[in-house]
Amino acid sequence: MPVWTSIVAAFLAGGPAQAVTEPTVTVSVDSSRKELVILAGPFDLPNMPPMEDHGMMDLGMSHDTPIQRFEWPIDGWLRGFELELVDRGGKPVPREVIHHMIMVNFSRRQLVYPASERLMGAGTETEDIKVPKTIGVPMKPGMKLGMYVAWHNDTGEDFHGVQMKLKMLWTPKNQNPPPVNALPIYMDVNLTVGGSNTFDVPPGRSEKAHEFTLPVGGRLLGIGGHLHDYGVRVRLEDAETGKVLTVVEATRDSAGKVTKVGRRLFGVSGEGLKLKGNHRYRVVGEYDNPTGRTLIKGAMAHMAGLFSPDDMSKWPTIDQANPAYQRDMASLQGRGSADGGGHGHGDHGGTGEADAHAGH
């Protein structure tokens, strides 16, 4: 599931106008279809200048909404999502107006980072995600969730009263045999929890990398990724041996614009890609910048997917006293405000952009 690609402001003068009606979020359960339907809106999305690069997002050339909170109502497993946009007349709105949408689970911690789980995410390059009923993300009634969107409409057309309809697919608790528990995993090459994960890209080919240690071993069931324009690929390596474990490739047009980032499934009903606890790994983003100039804060690179832990009891728990966790919460609370911070932690992470999601 963006990342899971797929199981997710008023900045400067001249930015988009505020919607006349304050956006709201409603949640309903369709038990016959096994869907949780989330409806958010309305949003007014005037046409905006095209971004020369993604760094412009940090300069206010986007509409970053405040986080909208709700509770998960079902005892079962999340296994995918479908996303659609319509204007107030019911006409479909192009998916490309979403730079990214992220859903946060405040009731569970991430595996790699001491921050709230990014349950799922979707973006311009993210397709709808669905995994077999044999696996799923375990969810409990009352889990505290939140959702926010960074819009960027450069289609040449204004859209008014836009509604976002998100259908989250779930498996009931009484399924026999029960699905294999799989949780989102997010691995970023340049993450500061509660801060920015963008970085500069020099001319020509370059790499950015980050090493981390997993607190519990398990199987990587699927993975996707996120890159900005001129991104080539993201790879996961064993930092102790240097072996490349998996790679997701970007699809680019003739100008270097990223139109899609690939996904890898390792056999969702099989063993998956084995990762060890207390073992060092490295995530690496590769770029090829042909512009001849350094792109300031013009890049991101991460992987996001589904991870089935060997022992659920060893999954790290939330420590509210942890300074990084507190920075993450403050950053989320500031979403959509003038001083809220554009691309912070998890802007594309969670289950959102990975195929495995069921995702960044």
DSSP-derived secondary structure letter, 18: P
- Of the candidates 154, 185, 139, the one whose C-alpha atom is nearest the C-alpha of residue 36 is 139
Task: Give 79's pLDDT tier (boundaries 50, 70, 90).
Answer: very high
User: How many other CB atoms are there within 10 angstroms of residue 92's CB atom?
Assistant: 9
Q: What is the pLDDT of residues 88-111, one digit of tens each?
A: 999 999 999 998 899 999 999 999
Residues 6 or more apart whose CB falls under 8 angstroms from that of 32 comprise none
Instruction: Provide the pLDDT for residue 185.
Output: 96
Q: What is the pLDDT of residues 188-219, one digit of tens each?
A: 999 889 888 999 999 999 999 999 999 999 99
Instruction: Provide the pLDDT for residue 56.
Output: 45
Instruction: Provide the pLDDT for residue 16.
Output: 40
Residue length of the chain: 360
Q: What is the pLDDT of residues 231-277, one digit of tens each?
A: 999 999 999 999 999 999 999 999 999 988 988 888 655 579 999 99
Instruction: Provide the pLDDT for residue 230.
Output: 97
**Which pTM was predicted?**
0.83
Rounded Cα distance, 52 and 188, in Å: 23
Rounded Cα distance, 250 and 233, in Å: 5
Average pLDDT rounded to a whole number, residues 138-165: 95
Instruction: Provide the pLDDT for residue 335.
Output: 82
> Domain extents for the chain?
24-357
**Strand arrangement of the beta sheet that strand 231-238 belongs to:** 204-213, 280-289, 231-238, 244-252, 258-261
Q: What is the pLDDT of residues 290-341, one digit of tens each?
A: 999 999 998 999 999 999 999 999 999 999 999 999 999 999 998 866 554 4
Please list the residues that pair with 292 across neighbouring strands.
none
Instruction: Provide the pLDDT for residue 115.
Output: 96
198: tokens are 């963008």
The proportion of the chain whose per-residue pLDDT surpasses 90, expressed as a percent, equals 68
Task: Give 131's pLDDT tier (boundaries 50, 70, 90).
Answer: confident
Task: Give 127's pLDDT tier (boundaries 50, 70, 90).
Answer: confident
Average pLDDT rounded to a whole number, residues 174-178: 94
Contact 231, 301 (CB under 8 A): yes
Task: Give 62's pLDDT tier (boundaries 50, 70, 90).
Answer: low
The proportion of the chain whose per-residue pLDDT surpasses 70, expressed as a percent, equals 82
- Look-up: residue for tokens 């003068």? 13
Establish whether the linkage from the previous residue to 42 is cis, with ω within 30° of 0: yes
Instruction: Provide the pLDDT for residue 276.
Output: 97
